Structure 1
Amino acid sequence: MLKLTCKIVKGNVTKFIACLLQVGVPVSSVAPSRSHSTSIKVGDPVLRAQAAVVDSGAVQGPEVQEVIRTMVKVMRKFECVGLSASQVGVPLRILALEFPERMLSHSLPAAREARGLTTVPLQIFINPQLRVLDGHTVKFQEACESISGFSATVPHYLSVEVSVHQSLLQQSTTTA
């Protein structure tokens, strides 16, 4: 039996995607490019595929940085609070989050208080790992850019810890 491991080496996302296709992992036909300006929609197999870990040596590489730039561009274009790399066609464990003042001002003061909403500067999470600190949940209405025009009530844990890769040699842990 042949075992093939795929990982980004020296930032080469193109070879990584070719490797994923070789082993049968779905990859969207619209992987990010400079002209890519929309998110992948529900039904695309890349959204169901397990996202791969980004090798620490690839984080600062041009291909991974292009994926991140594309994510931020799409997220801001559609005023999303967050977007994953899979949502722009690349099954990597990268998450972009941002909740600027202009978006915060769209919500009513009572909603801001009830949800504990505050502005969040742009944050990029590489290989995030979530650990639940408080198993109690709260439910809020939210939407997903991959299912435009729809929203649902989604439960969230009251407190979580997220560990992420921030740079080539740094790990960071945030509690929310």
Structure 2
Amino acid sequence: GMGVPTTANYCIMASTCAPILIQLGIGKIPAHFFVFYFGIVADITPPVALAAYAGSAIAKSDPMKTGVNATKLAIAAFIVPYIFAYSPAMLFVDVTSVFQVIQIVVSALLGIFGVAAALNGFLFRPIPRWMRLALVVAGLAMMIPGDATDVVGLAVLAVLVFYQRAMAKKGAATA
């Protein structure tokens, strides 16, 4: 994307990158969504980060620090294009049932929640490193297409969230 306007971004990405993804076996619609999404994300990632730099000018903050923080906050969003590239039903392509779409959307949202919580480092209270790693694994498992990975990821995510909640309540009760 390199900070070009949206329409030009899509034209550049669709002509240079989408054909490569299509040759790798990704469908046409998911490939085009994939390249468009990543082209737009250039607006928040340094060194270009036009949106982050505009925000830093408004906030009167350091542009590079703002760009790095924008990337940290949006890092889970970088996974979304991979989800719909490997699970085109999320884009209503090759859909066999409504349940399939609901399952993919819910598992993707919960997976992104797990990864975002791990990268943020805070859920109900600060998250220890071992739990952050487990949250990333659980989140990524839910983003991989398949029922088995969804169940494992959901189970691990649920245990970790309930554990965090219990520890937060315990800490509040002692305080």
TM range (shorter): under 0.3
Larger radius of gyration, structure 1 or 2?
A: 2
TM-score (norm 1): 0.27
Structure ranking higher in strand proportion:
1
- Select the structure that is richer in helix: 2
